[in-house]
């Protein structure tokens, strides 16, 4: 039970890659960790200099993927609830 909730959430950091129909997504247990990764990717995109980004899995550290920051076109974060498999809808909408 976390902060009065009987279910656990994970936080997803999702990257859209040039010419790829599927995004690359990694999960973090803590919102602060997801926010830190989001900022790291955003800064790499903003620098204007291609940089190698290595993303790892918190659950299995041997799982990792590396990608070039110049190939990332968008990054977003959202919360995914373990209860019922639901998640807050990624992106922006007027529906809550």
> Of 21, 22, 27, 15, nearest to 73 (Cα)?
15
The boundaries of the domain holding residue 52 are 9-85
Q: Total domain count for the chain?
A: 1
pTM higher than 0.85? no
Any domain includes 92 = no
Any domain includes 96 = no
Any domain includes 41 = yes
- pLDDT tens-digit series, residues 35-46: 999 999 999 999
- pLDDT tens-digit series, residues 17-64: 999 999 999 999 999 999 999 999 999 999 989 999 999 988 788 889
* Spatial separation of the C-alpha atoms in residues 94 and 81, rounded to whole Å: 20
> pLDDT at position 91, please?
58
Any domain includes 64 = yes
Any domain includes 2 = no
């Amino acid at each position: 039970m976390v902060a009065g909730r009987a279910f656990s959430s994970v936080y997803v950091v999702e990257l859209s890659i040039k010419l790829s129909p599927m995004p690359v997504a990694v999960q973090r247990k803590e919102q602060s960790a997801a926010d830190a990764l989001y900022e790291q990717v955003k800064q790499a995109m903003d620098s204007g200099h291609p940089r190698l980004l290595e993303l790892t899995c918190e659950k299995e550290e041997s799982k990792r993927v590396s990608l070039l920051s110049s190939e990332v076109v968008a990054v977003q974060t959202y919360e995914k609830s373990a209860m019922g498999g639901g998640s807050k809808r990624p992106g922006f909408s007027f529906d809550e």
